[in-house]
Copies of this chain bind each other. A is one copy, B any other.
Amino acid sequence: MELDRRRPGQSDIVTPRKEEDRVEILSGIFEGRTTGTPIAMLVRNSDQRPGAYDEMRDKFRPSHADYTYQAKFGIRDHRGGGRSSARETVGRVAAGAIAKKILALGGGASGAIPGGVEIRAFLTQVHDIIVPAGALSEFPSLADVEATAVRCPHRATSERMIERIRAVRSEGDSVGGVIECRVRGVPVGLGEPVFDRLEADLAKAMLSLPATKGFEIGSGFAGALMRGSEHNDVFVPGKDGQVHTATNRSGGTQGGISNGEEIVFRVAFKPTATILRPQTTVDSEGAATELIGRGRHDPCVVPRAVPIVEAMTAIVLLDHWMRQAAQNRTFSF
């Protein structure tokens, strides 16, 4: 179940906070099938300990949303668990699970493979521990991703990542990382030419996640270091009768529209803002003060963000699939 992949308390390297994340389906399902009407799902915040957050009532936690919420709304719920908490993402995972199911059905669209759309996210970096270039040339299996607590399918690297997270945790500190996401089975033609390019909506979806600082698709920032003659993906006739590209520096889209190749993008996550060390800050009166993080937080949220990245990817793809079905006489589910 997708929600369990996001849930805290999965291993010793993530937050011990227990969120059961039990989903109650309120509507839209009848006798085991969707009815076409909206599916409402409810996940209640359990295991809240409001007392643990008392100090945050008057002090702004650095690199959290405390100050901006206060300034924007003139009021803020200082207890954890609100919309500025990553707990917000449980709804995304629940919705994404449904989107994934629909995408897995494939459909009659040109280029859609029989197995449907498959989305695989995984860690390629924790702090300065990075999967070696070229080590993951194949589409990683879900089993390989889920084999370790960090969700990095490159076993040797995953062990070093886990060590690093443990070391950082023992110092009351935190680290960030990078998630790569690949998608195969996407038909040619998803995405709009101008504002709603497929990569634009993927970028928005990823930057809408807590703690993200960057997005790149295909060659990404490294692409700026190449020449056009090196970077261009030349077209070749495919064995499947489709047009393909010899390389995939485009990352699966050209002109904002999927080209049938693997969609490949990466998302950068900053280190968790909550650390168990004293930090200077300002209180709600504007006076300098100090804050000591307590609570139960992740030294590294990135492994738990893997299903969230997949969920948002599924949602973006399904939205564009629906748009294309609306526009195009020959495109259907």
Contacts and interface: CB of A to CB of B under 8 A. Distances in A.
Interface of A: 26-27, 30, 33-37, 42, 60, 62-65, 67-69, 71-77, 82-84, 88, 107, 110-111, 125, 127-128, 168, 173-178, 188-189, 191, 193-197, 199-208, 210, 212-221, 223-237, 241, 243, 245, 249-251, 253-260, 268-275, 277, 279-282, 286-288, 322-333
A76 B127 CA distance: 46
A286 B239 CA distance: 11
Nearest to A79: B30
Given A35-B76, A35-B77, A329-B333, 6 more contacts: A36-B75, A63-B249, A69-B255, A221-B221, A322-B327, A325-B332
A224 B178 contact: yes
Contacts of A228: 63, 173-175, 271-275
B224 A125 contact: yes
B223 A63 contact: no
B217 A216 contact: no
Nearest to A260: B71
Contacts of A62: 232-235, 245
A193 B209 CA distance: 10
The winner among A68, A224, A249, A329 for most chain B CB atoms within 10 A is A224
Contacts of A235: 60, 62, 67, 280-282
Contacts of A210: 255
B330 A326 contact: no
A24 B248 CA distance: 41
Nearest to A246: B280
8 contacts: A71-B110, A72-B191, A177-B224, A201-B204, A213-B220, A214-B221, A231-B270, A234-B281
